[in-house]
Amino acid sequence: MYRFAKAVANVGGQAVRQVRHGSTATQNFHSKYGMGVLVSGTVFCSVVWGYVLTQTGIEWNLSPVNRVMPKPWREAEE
The pLDDT tens digits for 20-78 are: 666 565 568 888 889 999 999 999 999 999 998 888 887 766 777 777 777 888 887 76
23: in domain: yes
Tell me how far apart the alpha carbons of residues 6 and 11 are, in angstroms, rounded to a whole number: 9
pLDDT band at 3 (very low <50, low <70, confident <90, very high): confident
Question: What total number of domains does the chain contain?
Answer: 1
Is 17 a member of any domain?
yes
Domain membership of residue 21 (yes or no) is: yes
Query: What pLDDT was estimated at residue 41?
Result: 96
Domain assignment present for residue 40? The answer is: yes
* pLDDT value for 29: 82
- The per-residue b/e assignment along 1-33, b for 16 or more CB within 10 angstroms, e otherwise, is eeeeeeeeeeeeeeeeeeeeeeeeeeeeeeeee
Evaluate whether residue 14 is within a structural domain.
Answer: yes
Question: Residue 5 in 3-state DSSP?
Answer: helix
Structural domain that includes position 52: 1-56
Output the pTM of the full model. Answer: 0.42
Q: Is 67 exposed, middle or buried (0-12, 13-18, 19+ CB in 10 A)?
A: exposed
